[in-house]
Amino acid sequence: MPAYNAEKTLKTTYEELPFDIVDDVVLVDDKSSDHTSALAREIGIQHVITHEQNLGYGGNQKSCYRKALELDADITIMVHPDYQYTPKLVPAMADIIASGLYDAVLASRILGKGALRGGMPLYKYIANRFLTLTQNILIGQKLSEYHTGYRAFSKRILQTIDFESNSDDFVFDNQMICQVFHADFEIAEVTCPTKYFEEASSINFARSTTYGLGVLKTSMQYWASKRGLIKPRIFQAKK
């Protein structure tokens, strides 16, 4: 769980986790101004990491995945503690990886009609569709969306891709998907309902624009790298 000011929604999210299959819960608090870390310990989360300074969304995830590797997790699933995505999909996502069919699973808000029905702002929906179409063309894939924050990875992926070389900002998510494809792994998708409400984290228009430009840059780097034109650090072998 990459957390930032998640005190109001953390308990609800945590209590919905399927503890019959979840062995460890890791929460990384990116220097919240509320009591996220204290509440996490109070409700029984086993591994709580608190950053002494705010490292950003990508920097937070790096700490999450480092800890997952340290725990030798076979399957790692990122669930945002803001309750925008339901943890009830965890068993389905884990089973797809455990079965050996895929090494990565994305929970898509776009499959079905859940995005707008769940309150996704129209401008974000339109941007999502435009960026996804552009990326599918440049990367040669057919994902329904690249921008969900709900995802599952096998140990093999975390051991293979160099996620440490990615941005500490929001584009980290997109870079990681491109790294997975670049390393010739396949990604499955499941339909996911979503909820937009006051306490759910969401980036503003300016940050969304910066993210969109970063997404396009990452996709073009992928296209050029696959053709041997450049060798971006994010697509080089993990050291």
Instruction: Count Cα neighbours of 72 within 13 Å in the Cβ-side half-sphere.
Output: 0
pLDDT digits (tens, 9 = 90+) for 68-111: 999 999 999 999 999 999 999 999 999 999 999 999 999 999 98
Number of domains in the chain: 1
Percent of the chain at pLDDT > 90 equals: 84
Structure tokens at 211: 């993210």
Considering just the CA atoms, what is the radius of gyration of the chain in Å?
17
**For residue 238, is it within any domain?**
no
Residue 218 lies in a domain: yes
Residue 9 domain-assigned? yes
Question: The domain spanning residue 149 has which CATH number?
Answer: 3.90.550.10
| 239 in a structural domain | no
Residue 59 to residues 141, 173, 203: CA-CA distances in angstroms?
A: 27, 11, 16
pTM for the whole structure: 0.93
Q: What is the pLDDT of residues 162-218, one digit of tens each?
A: 999 999 999 999 999 999 999 999 999 999 988 776 655 556 778 888 999 999 999
Domain that holds residue 188: 2-230
- Report pLDDT digits (tens) over 9-63: 999 999 999 999 999 999 999 999 999 999 999 999 999 999 999 999 999 999 9
**pLDDT the model gives residue 197:** 60
Q: Is residue 237 part of a domain?
A: no
Decide if 146 contacts 135 (C-beta within 8 A). yes
d(CA 127, CA 133): 10
